[in-house]
Chain A
């Protein structure tokens, strides 16, 4: 699974453009947070393949997940 994270969340994927992990069985987003060590409270929006999903959604190994923090703005 490819995980992209932005802003303050990027540090949790090693400050890389994306992190690749193996997810042999489908898991929920909340389980993903715990697997990767991302504090849930910092995540505002989760997207699967470019579409927003809820944190209880189930995801698979071939999904691309984007994690977006809160936007205060410009």
Chain B
């Protein structure tokens, strides 16, 4: 097959040995690249019930097929591992320049196992690996570490690194790729557990495309389509939080104050005509943006560097602030100060936290503190009340170091914290399978509630990404969607998951899925590989990879019992606003789950049936004994 190298690079950190392993075309035809082969190799290279923080866990990293081809927004690489946070399939997708280097390196993925005896940096030139002592970077933040490595080895290397959170095995830590994060599900702790501080990589080979002229022509076509698309200007000017104001005013589904509210009540109830919330990008983006900060080959960059030049947070400079962070370090903490949010965002990136999980965990602690459930004598004077940005900043720093009572309590996210604290604090711990919820109040977006409940990696908004479908009522071939109904959500979510999975396989940014949809993908694939893929083949690959991820979880014993919603979503209706009274009852959730498993061809306990696995040609990798009968 053209456009791929038919090889992967295996790295054993224990023995410091590496191996180039040939991969035949059949694997690419079934799984393609990116999340596809990253799922395939994770499943193949791990046994069930391994310790996620043990040497036996495996990290697979693979750029999507479109990465390094010039296809606009074809920028995403996939990382897979067993998640220390959920105990199940771990996945993080990132717009990584390191992925572009890997695409030019002669291998299609790296597979890292074992554990180094000392903190180490992997220096990879094409297929050649050097193990470099990284003790001098211990305790150094993720971004500074990468700056230092590029200074030392040259700016042509592209990089990733963990910060203190990862070194200290925080289960909500991620990996920083030059200020883009593979954040979710605890990959940073997996790096930390292997004593892997950083990877730097350079490739200088040329990918052999099946039809380079056609690819050039298609790239030009898509650059123009994206340029003319009505969403492009807003994305570039205001970033992913562009719809923040609408979520508050017209939908009442921007969770705030640890999900006590469905919109940012204390701000929006007091705004005068023409005033804006200070975390609304229409307020802050023009004031603070220094420049765009695009992912590789993105022609519609939503990423931006913002800088705070005055006041007590002066000197803060960060890539952001994304929509999710407006919630996790803003609304959910009841903080409407964009400069404080930027500061916390910077700390998360540098210390190497998943900013969603870290913020939602602090929100849990604020509620626990106000309820008098935390031991105030051990708080070192920190008044951790809602809206107290300085307290949140202090706590965040302590979490990275696991310092003191509060740092240790919160370092592994809401699930672990609520288990440690007890006192029914799990009733306001906002996580599913351990992963903290993103910025959609799913009490008023029921399809999204299902999507988060069933998502393989825990509460992930991009596994299905149905928020646009639900909130807008239509998208692509979907029409007449009612966000407050619990009917037909199974089919809606299943189809969206399969499509979204293809984006992570091909490496397309999901913020361009209303441009490429499904139909844009096959001709690009075919120009690269010489294959003759059609739309249906793309969806089949997505469904196959999704089912293999699910089988990873089934192998771990993660079945229907784990497809739940937080207590607050099923018991506490949204108190005020457009979605007042909305919640998801236990009956509604069970109804949606039944529909979903049926649409997927899975059993009632959520196990893929042998018929489904056979029809997706997965029984060569999955043990049929794990599958369900009908």
B471 engages A71 (CB within 8 Å)? yes
Within 8 Å by CB of B246, from A7, A15, A73, lies A7
Asked if A68 CB lies within 8 Å of chain B CBs, one says yes
- CB-defined contacts of A48 to chain B, threshold 8 Å: none
B-contacting residues, A34-61, CB 8 Å = 39, 41-42, 44-45, 47, 50, 52
Asked if A70 CB lies within 8 Å of chain B CBs, one says yes
Query: Closest CB of chain B to A30's CB: distance in Å?
Result: 16
Instruction: List 6 tightest A-B contacts by C-beta distance, closest first.
Output: A74-B323, A70-B231, A6-B246, A8-B234, A72-B511, A52-B473
Given contacts A70-B514, A73-B240, A74-B439, contact A8 B472 (CB under 8 A): no
Interface size class of A (residues with CB under 8 A): 20 to 34
Query: Closest CB of chain A to B628's CB: distance in Å?
Result: 34
Asked if B468 CB lies within 8 Å of chain A CBs, one says yes
A71 engages B274 (CB within 8 Å)? no
Interface of B toward A, CB cutoff 8 Å: 229-231, 233-235, 237-238, 240-243, 245-246, 249-250, 273-274, 282, 302, 322-324, 327, 438-440, 461, 465, 467-468, 471-474, 510-511, 514, 578
Query: Closest CB of chain A to B263's CB: distance in Å?
Result: 14
B246 engages A68 (CB within 8 Å)? yes
A8 engages B473 (CB within 8 Å)? no
A69 engages B238 (CB within 8 Å)? no
Q: How far apart are the CA atoms of A70 and B249 in the complex, in Å?
A: 16
Query: Closest CB of chain B to A41's CB: distance in Å?
Result: 5
Residue of A10, A42, A71 with highest tally of chain B CB at under 10 A: A71
Seed contacts A69-B234, A73-B511; 13 additional CB < 8 Å A-B pairs? A4-B249, A6-B249, A8-B233, A8-B238, A17-B274, A44-B230, A52-B472, A69-B243, A70-B229, A71-B471, A71-B472, A72-B234, A73-B510
Question: At the interface, is chain B mostly helix, strand, loop or mixed?
Answer: helix
Within 8 Å by CB of B230, from A15, A41, A66, A74, lies A41
Residue in chain B with minimal CB distance to A18: B273
Residue in chain B with minimal CB distance to A14: B274
Residue in chain B with minimal CB distance to A11: B282
A6 engages B243 (CB within 8 Å)? yes
Within 8 Å by CB of A71, from B282, B302, B467, lies B467
Given contacts A74-B322, A74-B438, contact A69 B473 (CB under 8 A): no
Q: How far apart are the CA atoms of A60 and B514 in the complex, in Å?
A: 32
Query: Closest CB of chain A to B220's CB: distance in Å?
Result: 21
Within 8 Å by CB of B472, from A42, A45, A74, lies A45
Given contacts A7-B243, A15-B274, contact A72 B235 (CB under 8 A): yes
Q: How far apart are the CA atoms of A62 and B302 in the complex, in Å?
A: 38
Query: Closest CB of chain A to B116's CB: distance in Å?
Result: 36
- CB-defined contacts of B472 to chain A, threshold 8 Å: 44-45, 52, 68, 71
Q: How far apart are the CA atoms of A69 and B507 in the complex, in Å?
A: 26
Query: Closest CB of chain A to B233's CB: distance in Å?
Result: 6
- CB-defined contacts of B250 to chain A, threshold 8 Å: 4, 6, 47, 66, 68
Residue in chain B with minimal CB distance to A41: B230
A72 engages B274 (CB within 8 Å)? no
Residue of A66, A69, A74 with highest tally of chain B CB at under 10 A: A74
Given contacts A8-B242, A45-B473, A52-B473, contact A70 B230 (CB under 8 A): yes
Q: List, sorted by A's number, 28 A–B pairs whose CB atoms are closer than 8 Å.
A: A4-B249, A6-B243, A8-B242, A10-B282, A17-B273, A17-B274, A44-B230, A44-B472, A45-B472, A45-B473, A45-B474, A68-B246, A70-B229, A70-B230, A71-B231, A71-B468, A72-B231, A72-B234, A72-B235, A72-B240, A73-B511, A74-B240, A74-B241, A74-B243, A74-B323, A74-B438, A74-B439, A74-B440
- CB-defined contacts of A39 to chain B, threshold 8 Å: 230
B467 engages A74 (CB within 8 Å)? yes
Query: Closest CB of chain A to B481's CB: distance in Å?
Result: 9
Residue of B231, B240, B302 with highest tally of chain A CB at under 10 A: B231
- CB-defined contacts of B243 to chain A, threshold 8 Å: 6-7, 69, 71, 73-74
